[in-house]
Structure formats: C-alpha cells, structure tokens
Amino acid sequence: MAELFDSYKSNYGEAVEGSIRFSGLSHDFFLVAKTDLLRRLVVERKLRQGGSAVRALDVGCGVGSLHPYLDGAFDSLDGCDVSQESILHASQHNPRVAYRTCSTQGLPYEDGTFDLAFASCVVHHVPSSSWLDFFLEMRRVVRPGGVACIIEHNPYNPLTRLAVFRCPFDHDAVLLNAANAASLFHKTGFRDIRSEHFLLLPSAKPLARRVERVFAPLPLGAQYACSAHV
C-alpha cells in the first residue's frame, strides 16, 4: 500500500478530481464538509471542557489534503501515514502539522497521547483481517475520555460506488458500512458510539447542512462518520 500511495504524492488531488468529476463538485467541497464535521465533533463531544487544549491525530493522512481546512480546529495536529513520500509532500505544504511515517502494524505514539484520533477514507484500504487491529491502535493512542472517529464511503450510495470504481487507487477497496464501523468500535472497547451520514446534498449552505442532519441516521449520504469515546 505504501508504494501505491508513494506514486500519487504529487497528483493525489488530480486523481480524486478525476474520479468525482461526474458529480460536478470539486474535491474541495468534500474536504470542507469533512472538516466542518470534525470541528463540530470537538464541540459536541465536549473535548474542550474547562478550556483544555485539543491535540488531534490524522491517521492515514496521505498528502495532508484535509489539513489546510483544519486551521484553528485543534490546538495541535499530528499526521501519520505509511507512505513516506506522501508525508514528505504533506510536511512541505503544512509546516504547522507534525508528521511521522508509520508501519501498518502500529502507530508511532505513546498510549493516551491524543484527545481525538480520526481516519478519513482510510479503513477501506486496510485489509479487513486487520480492521480490529487498526481500531485497537486508534484506541491505544487516545486518552481516556477522548474520541476516535472514522469517516468512510457509504457503500449504499450508488454515486459513491461509481466514484470508488473510477478512482485509480481504490481498486482494492473493501467498503464497510456504518454498522460495520460501529461494531468494530464496540468490539475494541469504545463507548457512546454514534454514526451520521452526510454529503447528501450538493450544497454547503446552512439550510442544506441542516437538512442533511435530519436525514443523517439514514444511509443516504455519500459518506458517513462514526465516532466513539474511549
């Protein structure tokens, strides 16, 4: 997997744009929706109680596409990925983020380091036989009371299926639905598990986002977020 993403270090965005061009939406639209959700998660999960600082980790961050949109969302942000070339590219473009390469076996951080660990469209690249280990590692690096979140493609959305089919580095993807993700959180000892689907409407206007929240329990949106407390 590292070699595959090494080869896309300079044109990752172009590859994604090509896979979603049929939608008429830009990659930025999807990145903003994800970062808005993560910002809201910090508030709804009360990670800033007592004015405490929030340290976050992006697991499988790739070239750091999300990170320019997360400015100010956390007090500090770390990112790790198996692709060393992607990490080098990310560090050149996001100097305020602390990056490390990691192995597929474990994350290069001490236990309980982070208030929030999230993985955006990463798990479907992990062999399904290693999903439990992936969730266990996220749990290990999050402090007690902290939160882990995964954002994934919704396999029930036909347009998502088309985008995955068209994406050159998603040919090996094994999509998991929100129920699968919630089950993995449960099996690895997380609590207070919540799921929501989003990216249902092609608009970032407040009214569209409010409508999406109404339908979030239904598997309609292009992607979903599943989060849980340690």
Q: What contacts 60, CB < 8 A, 6 or more positions away?
A: 80, 81, 82, 119, 120, 122, 125
Q: Check: CB of residue 189 under 8 Å from CB of residue 46.
A: no
Confidence (pTM): 0.92
Segments of the chain with pLDDT less than 70: 1-19, 22, 104, 169
- Nearest CA among 126, 168, 128, 146 for reference residue 49: 146
Task: Give every strand in the sheet of 223-229, ordered side by side.
Answer: 98-101, 76-81, 55-59, 114-120, 142-153, 223-229, 191-198
Three-class secondary structure of residue 193 per DSSP: strand
Q: Give the single-character DSSP code of 35.
A: H
The Cα 168–Cα 227 span in angstroms is 28
Q: What is the dihedral of CA 66, 98, 226, 174, to 10 degrees?
A: 80
Distance CA 112, CA 137 (A): 11
Cβ-proximal residues to 227 (8 Å cutoff; 6+ apart), any chain? 41, 45, 147, 148, 149, 150, 193, 194, 195
**Alpha-carbon distance 87 to 139, whole Å?**
23
> What structural domains and CATH numbers belong to the chain?
2-66+77-229 (3.40.50.150)
Regarding beta strands 55-59 and 76-81, do their DSSP bridges make them parallel or antiparallel, or are they unpaired? parallel
18's tokens:
């090509």
Q: Which residues have C-beta within 8 Å of that of residue 11, sequence separation ≥ 6?
A: none
Strand, coil or helix: what is 181? helix
Q: What is the pLDDT of residue 4?
A: 47
**Residue 8 has what pLDDT?**
46
The candidate with the shortest Cα–Cα distance to 104, out of 181, 3, 11, is 3
CA angle (226 as vertex; 223, 227 as ends), nearest 5: 145
